[in-house]
Structure 1
Amino acid sequence: MKTRRLIAAALACSVASTGPVVLAGPASAESVLRIAMTATDIPTTTGMPNNGFEGMRFLGYPIFEGLVQWDLKSTTKLAGIVPALAERWEQDPNDKAVWTFHLRQGVKFHDGTAFNADAVIWNLDRYFKNDSPQFEPQGAGISRARAPLVGSYKKIDDATVQITTTQVASYFPYMAVYLLFTSPQSFEKAGRDWSKVAALPAAGTGPFKITRVAPREAVDLAKFDGYWDPDRMAKVDRVRLLPIPEANARVAALRSGQVDWIEVPAPDAIPSLKQAGFTITTGSYPHVWPYIYNMGAKDSPLKDVRVRQALNYCVDRSALVELLNGTAEPASGWLNDKDPNFGSPKNRYTFDAAKGKALLAEAGYSDTKPLKLKIMISSSGSGQMLPMPMNEYLQENLKQACNVDLSFNVVEWQVLLNSSRALPDAQSLQGSLALNVSSPSSDAAVMARYFGSDRFPPAGFNFPNWKDDAFDAALKALAETTDAKVVDAQTKAAHERLVDNPPWLFIVHDLNPRGMAKTVHGFVSPQSWFVDLTLVSVK
């Protein structure tokens, strides 16, 4: 099949461009876990990492914590949130925009300084107060996009802080989970220069601490013996994180024993890896791999809902899943089809080229006047799966099925991620009419910041500039209640609008494949973008 040869060729080309991976040998007395990431470079190490959720997975949560954290111990249910640096929190019954967080006592940063309310306020000023001495533009941009409802905040006492949101949102703790805390002393020690903080390295409160940072080479972590939670002490002495963006290069590193764990193995390599005794883990989790439409650009053909629906009918998702060796599931909405809150939309996007072509014809596109779209894609990156071969498959699929002409603007992952907060006609988009940026679909807070009509960039991730009154009404209703039944009903109503009036082309849901050596034990593949490295041992 031509498309299968296309993927094989694309993966082969990626290997050819990769030099040898060199790792320093671990000390014989220590247990060392070596992980190959998909990133082209190490994520930033100041405490608010870039490189999307892969940055948070490996150089966020293991080292730097928030008031709230993900519960990552289960494979059978969607990951929820549990207390972290806050022992508990509550929403003020008289003013539901006010949240009070009661801080955990006795917690120390890796540098020995105390975690307390002053450290919380200092970090919030770092993210949300432009004129603070510690303001960090990159960390602020990431934090404001993920927790856009933070309005004001104050210290009540050494163990209590209050955060007031800009609107009532029952799901605010699912935004607070992304606000991580770095020791203020790290900033002072670096001469109040964030560009120098990474070289210290920076101190957090997590179960691992950073011991070495080598840009484009590796980051070394070590078990933090002073960690506050005795039930989450790390089982390995050290972790080494390496950026290896090409899929077959990661496979080669695993086969040769240079690493113990790889993110996203090349799908064609999975059978032989299993045969050789390596462990391949997969699992459903809240991850959709889409094209995010640029509806707001001048003269964009995607302003027409018929075009947006047509493209969803033109994709042969099952064939793409087959090419990925079953490491994905077809996506016909933002939520997984099996999610009880998927709802009952009027459209169910199976592969129906005839219906897709008919909708395109109604919108004025035909064999003599084909729809043409430029898509901004990345060559690798967090959650991006295998973007080059997958996009080349879609290019052929859409041309054959519905005579749609795709062209690609290939950029580095962080550039693509930054573009998701660009204005519709921004010069940086270079005329791109969609972005191939994978997305979490884990909770209502994520839904709000991707699709709420008050979240057009730069205030959020609603890159399409999509506005749907019925969706906004459902989102408001679920934000203003704590009744689980009402939340579920309104989530269904909101999701039905995402399907029937689609701001995205929904393609597949990732099944999170990883390859591991037989020496890796205890790993749990949670229904989350994140993992708990404290559970893992190397024997």
Structure 2
Amino acid sequence: MTFPRRTAFALTASLALVAQAQADSVLRIAMTATDVPTATGLPNNGFEGMRFMGYPIFEALTQWDLTQTDRPSGIKPALAQSYEQDPADGHIWTFHLRQGVKFHDGTPFDANAVVWNLDRFFKNDSPQFEPQAAGISRARAPIVASYRKIDDATVQITTTQVASYFPYMVVYLLFTSPQSFEKAGRDWTKVPALPAAGTGPFKIVKVSPRESVDLARNPDYWDAGRMAKVDRIRLMPIPEANARVAALRSGQVDWIEVPAPDAIPSLKQAGFTITTGSYPHVWPWIYNIAGTNSPLKDVRVRQALNYCVDREGIVALLNGTAEPASGWLNDKDPNFGKPQNHYVSDPEKGKKLLAEAGYGPSKPLSLKVMVSSSGSGQMLPMPMNEYLQENLKQSCNVDVSFNVVEWQVLLNASRLLPDSGNLQGSNVLNVSSPSSDAAVMERYFSSSRFPPGGFNFPNWKDDQFDAALKALAETKDQKVIDSQTQIAHERLVDNPPWLYVVHDLNPRAMSKSVKGFVSPQSWFVDLTRVSVQ
């Protein structure tokens, strides 16, 4: 059969495209999120959003060093090739921008783009102001006071207070091409369909809400040492743990976050790779201390609950993929300190403290906990919370009820005022937390970070903690930083704003075809190192 020349050409081109598609390496990942994280350049869905829809595509002036596995990840330069704190005025930070970097749409990354994005987050009357991204940014970098362009390659940011840990806040301020906003008719709701352009090693190809996001390797990435090894990535939200396991077994995906613990032995037996590793994570109940008539105003109640919990039982429930938590930091952390309280399962001590606070058989303590069905770092929230519900009833006669919401709703609740109607009477929020650095400690526990200006949902105030935090913020001496961190953490244990339950061991399951994955001591991963063979 003879084809017309045009048809033959089209057929040849089509076959070439098919061959190319077959040659492409594709990594398919099942997330715990219930929906695709927002795709305008600063994703929602917590740190899982940042892990998959943040750093691979959109970058910050600083970045996490994810090359080490033997220590918690630190910070290194990224879109800023260097930065320094003004020796004469510690409020001022100067960032020297990396030259030659371009957004995925070909436009230059420069000081104008930096200021444009900072206006997007911090200037309410700017044309590009994005309320959702602004809320996330202001909560993660709450001490930004002002900023200005020095020249095309230099930007200066001034903070509201002296903070040696400010680069650990800058890492969460991601940059989108201003041209993305312009092409979308200055409408953020239309930007994902373009799609939005960042500077990262991957670029967005297609966003299908509730279904998937397709990413492609960026062949023009500025860092030649971090060129992606896979051609494409497909991200899929699969919030239910057993559904994720089924997707992995059937070959629908190559990688799943948080496999169901009871499936881990059979997955190993079937030849799948299970990765775990300690990282700065704590799974707590966050107390609503400041709510009207809250029983959690009494420190004895907050301590009692920490003694009533059977953490080893939770670890067993999770098939060993977690460690007991007796504080915000891991017990093995050198900055854990020497608090007076050591929280292990001690129901008698818990009941004694509750009795001193006025609770007992004739007046049991009752708590309503807002929980999510899934989400970033939430591990297996429903089975874990149901275990705690039964555990607290049996150990200390505490009555627990639940208000189950979606993950993003729960995240939003952590920035509400203590008597907000949107809390629906909740005394406690179950929101997992990073514990990676002093900047995180500041925004969760400083008395200057009550919502909506920070994550101190309990409205917890401890003068000794604040003094230690101020001391470590105003020095560059690592020994002073460490000693003051220990003092601060001792107060988090002895005057607990949270019920500390477990530290996650970050389990993932992968097919044998996934190679090169490194599990850093971080919430984040470097997808450029991964290949599919």
Write the letter of the residue equivalent to 2:292.
K
Within the alignment, does 1:363 sit opposite 2:362 as a pair? no
Match of 2:207 in 1: 213
| Structure 1 residue 363, shift from structure 2 partner | 0.4
Return the match for 2:115 from 101, 114, 121.
Answer: 121
Match of 1:186 in 2: 180
Match of 2:158 in 1: 164
Deviations 1:8-27 (A, max 9, x none): xxxxxxxxxxxxxxxxx993
Match of 1:281 in 2: 275
Summarize the alignment of residues 61-460 of structure 1 with structure 2, pairs less than 5 Å apart: 61-460=55-454
| Alpha-carbon separation, structure 2, partners of 1:434 and 1:223 | 42
Deviations 1:33-71 (A, max 9, x none): 000000000000000000000000000000000000001
| Alpha-carbon separation, structure 2, partners of 1:456 and 1:356 | 28
Write the letter of the residue equivalent to 1:474.
A
| Structure 1 residue 97, shift from structure 2 partner | 0.2
Within the alignment, does 1:524 sit opposite 2:529 as a pair? no
Structure showing greater radius of gyration is 2
Deviations 1:460-517 (A, max 9, x none): 0000000000000000000000000000000000000000000000000000000000
Give the 3 Å change call, closer, same or farther, for CA 350–26 of structure 1 in structure 2. farther
SS at match of 1:347: coil
Summarize the alignment of residues 470-489 of structure 1 with structure 2, pairs less than 5 Å apart: 470-489=464-483
| Alpha-carbon separation, structure 1, partners of 2:142 and 2:386 | 35
| Alpha-carbon separation, structure 2, partners of 1:168 and 1:74 | 29
RMSD (Å), alpha carbons: 1.0
Give the 3 Å change call, closer, same or farther, for CA 532–519 of structure 1 in structure 2. same
Deviations 1:389-410 (A, max 9, x none): 0000000000000000000000
TM-score (norm 2): 0.96
Write the letter of the residue equivalent to 1:439.
S
| Alpha-carbon separation, structure 2, partners of 1:153 and 1:369 | 54
| Structure 1 residue 368, shift from structure 2 partner | 1.5
Write the letter of the residue equivalent to 1:47.
G
| Alpha-carbon separation, structure 1, partners of 2:41 and 2:30 | 20
| Structure 1 residue 429, shift from structure 2 partner | 0.2
Give the 3 Å change call, closer, same or farther, for CA 330–466 of structure 1 in structure 2. same
| Alpha-carbon separation, structure 2, partners of 1:310 and 1:448 | 25
| Alpha-carbon separation, structure 2, partners of 1:452 and 1:427 | 24
SS at match of 1:242: strand
Match of 1:490 in 2: 484
Write the letter of the residue equivalent to 2:87.
P
Runs of at least 4 residues off by over 2 Å:
none
SS at match of 2:189: helix
Match of 2:36 in 1: 42
| Alpha-carbon separation, structure 2, partners of 1:272 and 1:370 | 42
Write the letter of the residue equivalent to 2:361.
D
Number of residue equivalences = 516
SS at match of 2:165: coil
| Structure 1 residue 73, shift from structure 2 partner | 1.3
SS at match of 2:204: strand
SS at match of 2:304: helix
| Alpha-carbon separation, structure 1, partners of 2:355 and 2:22 | 67
TM-score (norm 1): 0.95
Match of 2:531 in 1: 537
| Alpha-carbon separation, structure 2, partners of 1:322 and 1:385 | 14
Write the letter of the residue equivalent to 2:352.
A
Instruction: Check the 8 A contact 1:39/1:382 in 2, yes or no.
Output: yes
Match of 2:5 in 1: none
Deviations 1:269-327 (A, max 9, x none): 00000000000000000000000000000000000000000000000001110110000
Identity %: 81
Structure 1 residues not aligned, in runs of 5+: 1-24
Write the letter of the residue equivalent to 2:93.
W
Instruction: Check the 8 A contact 1:221/1:238 in 2, yes or no.
Output: yes
| Alpha-carbon separation, structure 1, partners of 2:530 and 2:347 | 46
Instruction: Check the 8 A contact 1:346/1:500 in 2, yes or no.
Output: yes
| Alpha-carbon separation, structure 1, partners of 2:412 and 2:176 | 23
| Alpha-carbon separation, structure 2, partners of 1:190 and 1:26 | 31
| Alpha-carbon separation, structure 2, partners of 1:356 and 1:96 | 45
| Alpha-carbon separation, structure 2, partners of 1:323 and 1:171 | 37
| Alpha-carbon separation, structure 2, partners of 1:366 and 1:147 | 43
Write the letter of the residue equivalent to 1:207.
P
Instruction: Check the 8 A contact 1:38/1:243 in 2, yes or no.
Output: yes
Write the letter of the residue equivalent to 2:83.
W
Write the letter of the residue equivalent to 1:378.
S
Match of 1:461 in 2: 455
Instruction: Check the 8 A contact 1:35/1:242 in 2, yes or no.
Output: yes
Write the letter of the residue equivalent to 2:58.
F
Instruction: Check the 8 A contact 1:26/1:32 in 2, yes or no.
Output: no
| Alpha-carbon separation, structure 2, partners of 1:76 and 1:273 | 26
Match of 2:497 in 1: 503
